[in-house]
C-alpha cells in the first residue's frame, strides 16, 4: 500500500490496475488506507473503494434484473447506488413508509372505490408537491429515486415508481402504463380504472388524451403501450433513463458500465422517458 503515495504515473497506474483487478480481496486494505495520514493515499484509496462499490452495485443490479419476478424497489435502490455509491436507501424507505401512512389516514373511512385510490394522488401530488422536472429534464438526479424524493421533481417514470411503491405499502392497487417518453399511473377500484399523470401534478387523463399525445409524437398506438407494465420492464426502462442522463453530464464511463448490464440481461434496445 506504500506505493499508493508514489507520485509517478509509471508506478501508480499499474498499482491502481492491480488493486482494481483484485476486487473484494483488496477492500480491507483499502479501507485501512482510506484513513492514512498522507492525503494522496487517502484520496486514491477512497477512489478505489468507490470503484469497487460501484462494480458490486452493478453486479447486484444485474442479479436483480435476472430474477423472475423482479423486485422493483430493490432494483431502483441499486440503480441509485450505481449513480451515487454513497447513497443509503434507509432514509428513502422511511419516507415512503411515512407517505403510505398518510395515504392510509387520508383514505380512512372511505369505501374501497376510486376516492380511496385517489387519496394516493392527493397526498403525493397535492400535499407533497411531486411534479415533473421541467428544468434539466434529463439530469441523472431525475432518474435517482432518492434525489427525486428529496427534490420532489423527477422523470415521469420516477414519479410513477414512487406512486407504485407507496400504493403497495398502502394497499392500493396501481400499475404503470408505459407510453413512450411519458409513463402514466393507472389506479384501480374494483373493475374500474383511472389514468393519472404524476408528471403534471396528478392530472386525470383519458385514453383520448393519450392517443393525442402519441399523435403529436408521430407514433401509431400499440396495445402493449396501454397494458400494465411489469416491474422488470420499468427497471430496464429506468436504467436506460439513467444511462442517457449520465451521458449528457459527461459521465460516459458510468453510462457505459450500466449499458453493459443492460446488454447482459436484455439484448434488445429499450425506450426511455
- What are the tens digits of pLDDT across the range 26-39? 888 888 888 888 88
| Nearest alpha-carbon partner for 176 in 192, 189, 187 | 187
Q: How far apart are CA 61 and CA 190, in angstroms?
A: 34
pTM for the model? 0.86
Do 166 and 120 touch, CB atoms closer than 8 A? Answer: yes
Q: Is the pLDDT of residue 51 over 90?
A: no
Of 174, 167, 217, 215, the residue nearest 195 (C-alpha) = 174
Residue 171 CA: distances (Å) to CA of 77, 99, 100, 147, 149 = 21, 13, 9, 25, 20
**pLDDT grade, residue 254 (50/70/90)?**
very high
pLDDT mean across residues, the chain: 90
Place of cell 460501484: 54
Say whether pLDDT at 264 is over 70. yes
Q: What is the DSSP string of 40-60?
A: HHHHHHHHHHHHHHHHHHHHH
Amino acid at each position: 500500500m506504500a506505493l499508493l503515495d508514489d507520485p509517478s504515473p509509471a508506478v501508480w497506474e499499474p498499482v491502481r490496475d492491480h488493486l482494481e483487478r483484485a476486487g473484494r480481496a483488496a477492500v480491507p486494505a483499502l479501507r485501512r488506507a482510506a484513513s492514512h495520514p498522507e492525503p494522496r493515499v487517502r484520496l486514491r484509496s477512497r477512489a478505489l473503494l468507490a470503484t469497487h462499490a460501484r462494480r458490486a452495485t452493478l453486479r447486484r443490479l444485474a442479479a436483480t434484473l435476472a430474477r423472475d419476478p423482479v423486485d422493483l424497489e430493490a432494483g431502483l435502490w441499486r440503480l441509485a447506488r450505481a449513480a451515487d455509491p454513497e447513497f443509503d436507501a434507509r432514509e428513502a424507505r422511511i419516507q415512503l413508509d411515512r407517505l403510505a401512512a398518510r395515504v392510509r389516514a387520508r383514505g380512512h373511512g372511505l369505501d374501497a372505490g376510486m376516492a380511496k385510490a385517489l387519496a394516493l394522488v392527493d397526498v403525493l401530488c397535492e400535499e407533497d408537491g411531486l411534479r415533473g422536472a421541467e428544468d434539466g429534464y434529463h439530469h441523472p438526479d431525475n432518474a435517482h429515486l432518492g434525489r427525486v424524493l428529496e427534490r420532489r421533481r423527477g422523470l415521469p417514470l420516477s414519479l410513477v415508481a414512487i406512486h407504485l411503491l407507496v400504493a403497495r405499502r398502502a394497499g392500493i392497487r396501481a400499475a404503470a402504463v408505459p407510453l413512450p417518453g411519458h409513463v402514466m399511473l393507472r389506479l384501480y377500484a374494483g373493475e374500474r380504472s383511472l389514468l393519472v399523470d404524476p408528471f403534471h401534478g396528478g392530472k386525470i387523463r383519458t385514453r383520448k388524451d393519450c392517443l393525442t399525445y402519441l399523435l403529436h409524437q408521430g407514433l401509431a398506438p400499440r396495445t402493449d403501450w396501454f397494458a400494465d407494465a411489469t416491474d422488470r420492464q420499468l427497471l430496464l426502462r429506468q436504467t436506460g433513463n439513467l444511462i442517457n442522463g449520465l451521458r449528457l453530464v459527461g459521465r460516459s464511463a458510468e453510462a457505459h458500465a450500466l449499458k453493459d448490464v443492460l446488454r447482459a440481461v436484455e439484448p434488445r434496445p429499450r425506450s426511455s422517458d
